[in-house]
Amino acid sequence: MLQFNDEEILNIRAHVTSSIIKKLKQDNDIILTSDTLVPPDARSSWNLYYYCPHHGVRLTWNRYNSTQHACPIDGEVFTGEPYNSAWWRWLNDLNSKACYELGLLWQLTQEPIYLEKVKSILLEYAIRYPHYEVHGDIPYNGPGKINAQTLCEANCMINFARGYDFICQDIYEFEREKIETSLLREGAEFLIQNRTPQLHNHEIKINAAVGIIGLILNDSRYISFALISDYGLHYQLNHGCIGEGMWFEGSIHYHYDALQSLLAYEKIAYKTQHSLSINPNLLKMLKFPLNLIMSNGNLPRLNDCIAGQEQVIHSEVFEFGFREYPFEILHKALQYIYSQEERNNLEALLYGVETLKQIKNLSCQSSHHPDCGYTTEYSSQSRHFMLLKHAPFGGEHDHYDRLNLILCRHGYEILPDLGTTGYGANLHYDYYKNSATHNTLVVNEANQPPNTPKVLNYEKTEHFTLIDTLADWTTTSVENVDSHTIVQWDSDAYRSISYRRTIIWVHGCVIDISSVHNNEKNDIALHYLIRGTHNLNSDWKTIASPFKHALHRLANCHKLDQVIERGLSYKIPQQPNFHQQVHTNSPCQLVTGYGPDNPATSDIAYLAIRSKQPFFSSLVLHDLSGETDISDVKWQTNEAIYFTLRTDDGQNNYCFDFTTSTLQIV
């Protein structure tokens, strides 16, 4: 066994608790108590098809019914494709996970039932694997044999290999030969043939699988391919970890997905000459996302992040990470996780330090990361928080939302990033992934082309923080990234557009100044999503949704025309009302309505500020404290904006100068 030597496994057995044993049994009960079942042919498709098309939530999987699939929200039953083939993908996942976890149970308990179950699963797949047809038509992905994409193939192979490592010394030689030759080597060769020359979390997973098989089988060819070839693990770390340490795809979920794969390999390789520890970007990736934690205790749902994946729950990353890199921020992450659950889990048992001391809690912070492209502000007294996204484009898992804004008030995400849902659900491409469903600029209802915004000025003083940014589509062509993309944007719509967003964090409020150069007089709109309900008076006219694309589904819509100044109010669950003030340099139209939140079992309020002016500028006050007011807003053409801010501490007159990118009290 390569994963643990005799001394280590004896120590693990001495410290394992009955609750860990019980949980491993419970998590694999359906596999233990049913006959071994593997797909008879290449029928498995994609687990992300296994979602309700109406609510965007995962369907209820039933081991004993592969043809009927129920929504957990309303019980509606779905049949046929794509659900039936996705059912088999979930079975493959459970089988492969069982190989690892039941193999470990065999090492922990020496009870033959676990050895026999792992052996039966591996042999069943080994018999069938060479005969599975190559198949798959999943967007952005290579094909599979067990599954319909190369990523899922790699996921299964990692667990098959680790499970085999736990039992290989306790089975017959002919069984070892069959599993190694017909499953592990066949799998590694297939993955090598289908790894794509790109930066991607998929390629990290594929490399990790090939590398783990190489380590376990002592095959230097596999190890070299995984570790040092072009687009191998070191290449991915060197080119995919950007700036201060964010994975280039810009999704918290895929950042940790990449780390999980890197560490799955490293947990076997760390004691060898093939360790990744010599690469400094591994540590940077371990530490960085914790800088973005919001005041609600979660990480932001940036880009393709399915609801639930934003939680700080990654003990499989931080237990091993802190043991190998004992930095305080990783210690804090573990302390945060175990403030909500007992430290009695598999990762702590296998890879954690023996005891954790009490240290300061993990919390929000104000930070500026110009290379990664995120700026945050946080008030520990009020628990107000903001994040401005000015990150470079990250490929297929990015959203088209340059200069997107997230706000939390008293620890409640009041202007959220919705993230997304399962990619097989219509809401993913048709709704969540679009510019229109973010707090940013939308032109002609089309998606923004890739763009790397510029930070024109970042200034943090005793009295305010200013971040001035620019997304300019007039002077730059669509940026390429060394990763697969599908064109889902409209370059023509944005070719005359430059979008400048200036955020001022001051006195318990956020002052949000948007300035749009729109030389072709397109339909431009500044969108805001508020997790609450509108308080509208009789001035507002009831209308059908005026949108044709992502927001055609907006309901209960209202509009106001010829607006220069307007206050808006929202009812917020278990909080005081939230207030915004809108000021514009020319008359505009305001549209309100309700669209799906995430999950789509509830709605979220929308505000769109619409104009066709060749130069349009707005100032929106987001009153987080409930005690601020802005008046006397005046534009000096497109050179400066003046305003008066009143707070409970008094009144100040300000000028933001567009030419110097500075804020002054006047």
Q: Do residues 204 and 261 touch, judged by C-beta distance below 8 A? A: yes
Q: Rounded to an integer, what distance in angstroms lies between the CA atom of residue 510 and that of residue 386?
A: 9
Model confidence pLDDT, tens digit, residues 316-357: 999 999 999 999 999 999 999 999 999 999 999 999 999 999
Does 199 have pLDDT greater than 90?
yes
Task: Tell me the three state secondary structure of residue 318.
Answer: helix
Predicted confidence (pLDDT) at residue 301 exceeds the cutoff of 80: yes
Rounded CA-CA distance 330/321 in Å is 7
Burial, 486: exposed, middle or buried (Cβ in 10 Å; 0-12, 13-18, 19+)? Answer: exposed
- Residue 195 confidence (pLDDT) above 80: yes
The predicted structure's pLDDT at residue 638? 86
pLDDT exceeds 90 at position 587: yes
Instruction: Determine the pLDDT at residue 239.
Output: 97
Q: Is 359 exposed, middle or buried (0-12, 13-18, 19+ CB in 10 A)?
A: exposed
pLDDT digits (tens, 9 = 90+) for 388-405: 999 999 999 999 999 999
Distance CA 441, CA 522 (A): 12
pLDDT given at position 583: 98
Q: From CA 32, how far away is CA 29, in angstroms rounded? A: 5
Label residue 523 by pLDDT band (50, 70, 90).
very high
184 DSSP assignment: I
> Which pLDDT score, from 0 to 100, does residue 125 have?
98
Question: If residue 348 lies in a helix (H) or strand (E), which one and from where to where?
Answer: helix 346-351
Cα 395 to Cα 195, 257, 345, 380, 483: the distances in Å are: 17, 16, 35, 35, 6
Q: What is the pLDDT of residue 361?
A: 87
Q: What is the mean pLDDT of residues 255-274?
A: 96
| Edge-to-edge strand list for the sheet holding 629-636 | 629-636, 640-647, 650-657, 662-665
Q: What is the pLDDT of residue 137?
A: 83
pLDDT confidence of residue 459: 97
Asked whether 347 and 319 are in contact (CB, 8 A), the reply is yes
User: DSSP string of 111-156?
Assistant: -HHHHHHHHHHHHHHHHHGGGSPPB---TT---BSSSSSHHHHHHH
pLDDT digits (tens, 9 = 90+) for 441-479: 999 999 999 999 999 999 999 999 999 999 999 986 777
Question: Average pLDDT, stretch 133-137?
Answer: 93
The arithmetic mean of pLDDT across residues 252-260, rounded, is 96
In a 13 Å sphere around the CA of 375, the CA atoms on its Cβ side amount to 25
DSSP, collapsed to helix, strand or coil, labels residue 229 as coil
Lowest mean pLDDT among 50-59, 82-91, 589-598: 50-59
167 pLDDT above the threshold of 80: yes
Token output for 308 = 């639930």
Percentage of the chain lying above the pLDDT 70 cut: 100
Residue 141's pLDDT band (cuts 50, 70, 90)? confident
How far, in Å, CA of 424 to CA of 440, rounded? 25
Q: Which domains, ranges and CATH numbers included, belong to the chain? A: 1-194 (1.50.10.100), 367-665 (2.70.98.70)
Contact 348, 17 (CB under 8 A): no
The owner of tokens 């498995």 is: 44
Count of other CB atoms within 10 angstroms of residue 395: 24
Query: Among 334, 379, 323, which Cα is nearest to 360's?
Result: 334
Distance of alpha carbon 637 from alpha carbon 614, whole angstroms? 12
Respond yes or no on whether the N-terminal peptide bond of residue 82 is cis (omega within 30° of 0).
yes
Q: What is the mean pLDDT of the chain?
A: 96
Whether pLDDT at 423 is above 90? no
Inter-residue contact 320 to 271 (CB < 8 Å): no
The count of residues in the chain is 666
Between the alpha carbon of residue 614 and those of residues 519, 564, 611, the distances in Å are: 5, 16, 9
**Tens of pLDDT, residues 347-375:** 999 999 999 999 988 989 999 999 999 99
3-state secondary structure 508-520: CEEEEEEEEEECC
What is the per-residue pLDDT for 648? 82
Range scoring the smallest mean pLDDT among 104-108, 165-169, 510-514, 599-603: 599-603
User: Per-residue pLDDT for 585 more than 90?
Assistant: yes
The values of phi and psi at residue 529, to 5°, are -110, 120
CA-to-CA separations, 420 to 49, 355, 518, in angstroms, rounded:
14, 37, 30
Cβ neighbour number for residue 636 with a 10 Å cutoff: 11
CB proximity list for 110: less than 8 A, separation 6 or greater: none
Neighbour tally for 362: CB within 10 Å: 21
Cα separation, 504 vs 290, whole angstroms: 24
Amino acid letter, residue 338: Y
183 neighbors 122 (Cβ within 8 angstroms): yes
Phi, psi angles (nearest 5°) of residue 277? -65, -20
- Cα angle 146, 151, 152; round to 5: 40
**For residue 204, which of 246, 140, 135, 155 has the smallest C-alpha distance?**
155
Look up residue 193 and give its DSSP letter.
H
SS3 408: strand
**265 burial type by CB count under 10 A (0-12 exposed, 13-18 middle, 19+ buried):** buried
Q: Say whether pTM exceeds 0.95.
A: no
**Phi and psi for 387 in degrees, rounded to 5?**
-140, 130
Q: Is the pLDDT of residue 507 over 90?
A: no
Please state the rounded mean pLDDT for residues 275-293. 97
pLDDT the model gives residue 424? 83
